[in-house]
Amino acid sequence: MTEPAAKLSISIPSALAEAIRQRVGPRGMSRFIARAIEHELERELLRAYLDELDEGFGPVPQQAIAELRKAWPRA
């Protein structure tokens, strides 16, 4: 079932709007922007969770970060 949509009036730079339109077409813009907002919101929530863990358990061991970063594929 599709979630009901809320209509928002937002302003973004015109060059950005054009770049999105060229990439996804005029009909794909809402979906593209909704996905970008959802992704950004998830990142904010994850950052808040990681900060909460830092407060409760101290900083993440740097050795673990260094090891796992090496194993993570490069972009």
Partner 1 sequence: MTEALILDSEALNALANPKQRNALFQRARAVLTIAHERRALVRVPAPVLAEVCRGPRFDAAINQLLNDKGIVVCDLTADIAQRAGQLLASAKLSSVHAVDAFVIATALTFDTAVIATSDPADLSKLAARERRLTILPL
Binding site for partner 1 (CB under 8 A): 39, 42-50, 53, 57, 60-61, 64-65, 67-69, 71-73, 75
- In sequence order, what DSSP letters do the residues of 7-64 get, joined into one string? P------HHHHHHHHHHH-GGGHHHHHHHHHHHHHHHHHHHHHHHHHHHHH-SPPHHH
Q: How far is the CB of 21 from partner 1 (least distance, A)?
A: 19
Which C-beta is closer to partner 1: that of 4 or that of 56? 56
Residue 51 near residue 59 (C-beta atoms within 8 A): no
Closer residue to partner 1 in complex, CB, 10/71: 71
Least distance (Å) between residue 57 CB and partner 1: 7
